[in-house]
Amino acid sequence: MTVLTRPEGTLPEDLHISRRSLAALLAAGYAAAAVSADADPITTSATGLVTEMVTMPGGLPGYVARPAGKGSHPAVIVVNEVFGVHEWIKDVCRRLAQAGYVAVAPAFFYRNDPDNTLATTRDFPVIMKIVGEAKNEQVMGDVATTLDWLGKQTFVAAKRLAITGFCWGGSVVWMACARFPQLKAGGAWYGRIRGAPNATEARQYPIDIAATLKAPVLGLYGALDKGIPVADVEAMQAALTAGKANPATARSSIKLYATSDHGFLADYRPSYNPVDGPDAWGRLLAHFKANGV
């Protein structure tokens, strides 16, 4: 089994937690490359929710979870890890829906992974090849498509939109919050801050756009993360401080957890931290509410 250590909370009583065998976890749709046989993944009830797969303009698929019944609700785009929209990402959507949000997880890799290889393979080079084909402009285009789709849904409060993402998706959050004024807040979980020393692709990273954010971002990072050293986190915090003349940048912040590794919210992985994960989840919800989402 691959234990991911590089980039790519519990809600109230609506959560049911059960122990499952590895085979059952895989059958349930958790990513094979990172799932732990000893995991106790949170399974969020869909009672009181509408959950469905939708197809947005251009053929972009997405998993949606939202409160049932009439009325409009704030919405959150959920950006997946390198494993695509597998069961854990769907559960995160249900957690947000139980908290009163419309949550949509676009399938950013669907063009290059029509057979959902990301959720089933344990071959990390294969995973990274698929993920690497999703370039920044394509991903930002898919975020734009999702924002447009949300803005046209009667069950969405179109002026109360946020984004959160994990690992690979954590970096996407920073970049999207510098691109789209429709977003009111972002939550970036352990996303890469700058390029690797041997990176060859010419592109921007979160540290390059820190001073130009259009929505405040809460960064959530672990000090034990082997792929995102503390020095990178400190450099990002310094970049936010240097760009504080920009209101959205000034309202952005980073929480660094001293005893957490990469993936500390992912309760299907051995990296899950049962103290820091729920604490960070609570901070995320508070950040959204503080910024009108």
Domain ranges of the chain: 15-290
Instruction: Write down the pLDDT at residue 111.
Output: 94
Q: 3-state DSSP call for residue 71?
A: coil
Q: What is the pLDDT of residue 10?
A: 30
Beta strand pairing status for 42-44 and 156-166?
unpaired
Q: Does 93 participate in catalysis according to the annotation? A: no
Which amino acid, one-letter code, is at 184? K
Considering the candidates 91, 113, 225, 261, report the single residue annotated as catalytic.
225
| pLDDT value for 24 | 53
Q: What is the pLDDT of residues 122-138, one digit of tens each?
A: 788 888 898 889 999 99
Active site residue 287: no
Amino acid found at 240: L
Considering the candidates 167, 177, 261, 287, report the single residue annotated as catalytic: 167
Our answer to whether residue 225 is catalytic in this structure is yes
Superfamily of domain 15-290: Alpha/Beta hydrolase fold, catalytic domain (3.40.50.1820)
The one-letter amino acid code at 133 reads: E
| Residue 11, pLDDT score | 32
Regions of the chain where pLDDT drops below 50:
1-20, 22, 25-26
Taking CA atoms, 273 is separated from 63, 130, 217, 226, 270, in Å, by 26, 28, 22, 16, 9
Structure token digits, residue 247: 């209101």
pTM: 0.89
pLDDT for residue 178: 98
Instruction: Write the DSSP symbol of residue 55.
Output: E
Catalytic residue among 91, 142, 261, 262: 262
